[in-house]
Each structure stands twice: as C-alpha cells, then as structure tokens.
Amino acid sequence: MRASNEGLIVIDVQNDFCPGGALAVAGGDEIIPRINALMDGFAVKVLTQDWHPADHSSFAANHPGAAPFSLTQMPYGPQVLWPVHCVEGTDGAAFHKALRTNPADLVIRKGFRAAIDSYSAFFENDHKTPTGLEGYLRSRGVTDLTFTGLATDFCVAYSAIDAARLGFAVTVLEGACRAIDLNGSLAAALNDMRAAGVRLEA
C-alpha cells in the first residue's frame, strides 16, 4: 500500500475505446488486468469517463462534409473531429466490463458540454474551464499521481501534463496505457509529457 498522498487516475477505460468500440484503441482492453491489480495499492482511486451529448462538437458527424480524424478550428483552438463515441448513457460510454469499478472513490465525467471537448481530466480544451478534479485531489491530500488508461496520446497525456503544471508529481505508466497514434501524435505526446516534467515508466 502506498502513502496516503498517492492517487491513481484511470483514464477512459470505456467500451468505445476498446476493441469493437466506436473509437477503438488497439489493445485498449489489454491494460485492464494491470490496472485492476494496481487499484488496491493506492489510497485514492479516480476513474474518468468521456461523456458526450449526441450533438457534441467534437463529432465529425456534426460537421457536414467533415471526415472523421480531420482537424477543425474551434474558438478555443484546433480540434480533431472524431467518430461519434462515448455518447452519454450508451453502452459505448460504459466502463469496460472487466474493469474493477467498485474500488473507485470518484468517477469524474468530462466532455459533457456540446460546444467544447475535454481531453484532460482537469481542464476542458480551452485549458481554462476546470472539471473540479484538482480541488477533489487537493482536499484529500493527494500530491502524487499515477496515470493509466486510454488514450496515451490524447486524454492521458493532456491529463498528465495539466497535473504536472498544477504542481502534482506525475508518473505515467506507459504499459498501462494504449495510444491512438494519429499522424505522429504518440511521439509528440511523449515529448510533451517529458518536457512538462512527467515521469514515464514502463
């Protein structure tokens, strides 16, 4: 058991990001046994859930003529347009059935506002609108965070970088994550995480 200031964050281990899902990440389900085994060792355990309304602006289907995985400009900056995924209340948005969810202290949802995406568990994609997770962790005395989940190069990286900027000591367990890897996004995310002071472990 680790010290009481250590938290485990499990990012988006949901059906749509696992094989057979709408935005499947290769090998996304392979990480689940390791995550399950890690949980009991941490004092504070948080699961995140990507949770979008059907009219979400990150869905290519809501931009006539736009192809999935193309880029668009939003008021808050560039945004990848994704296949429809993790629509609130659907089976695709549910946690993978192999993930242990009972040990979690907190489940935090993100991306629930139609006009803005939220890759990070801390801030929406405007890098300003908070999700409330920082306050939760601080009020529970957490200073050190270990990240696992999906996808390495989007929601895990954005969350880990925000956490490091907020002053948490951050480790990403690469082997307990899987990447989308869109046009070099994995290499870029690994560089950005290192530059932000995130420790990458196997």
Which residues here bind Zn ion, judged by CB under 5 A? Answer: 50
* Residue numbers 61-100 binding ligand VGL by CB under 6 A: 82
Stretch that binds ligand VGL, among 91-99, 129-137, 147-155, 166-174 (CB under 6 A): 147-155
Contact of 133 with 108, CB cutoff 8 Å: yes
Strand-pair category, 71-74 with 77-80: antiparallel
Stretch that binds ligand VGL, among 2-10, 130-138, 149-157, 162-170 (CB under 6 A): 149-157
> Does 190 help bind ligand VGL (rule: CB under 6 A)?
no
The mark string for 118-137 relative to ligand VGL (x by CB under 6 A, - otherwise) is: -x------------------
**Count of residues in contact with ligand VGL, rule CB under 6 A:** 9
Contact of 131 with 168, CB cutoff 8 Å: no
| Closest by CA position to 175, among listed 136, 202, 195, 152 | 202
Q: Cα(40)–Cα(42) distance, rounded to whole angstroms?
A: 6
177 in catalytic set: no
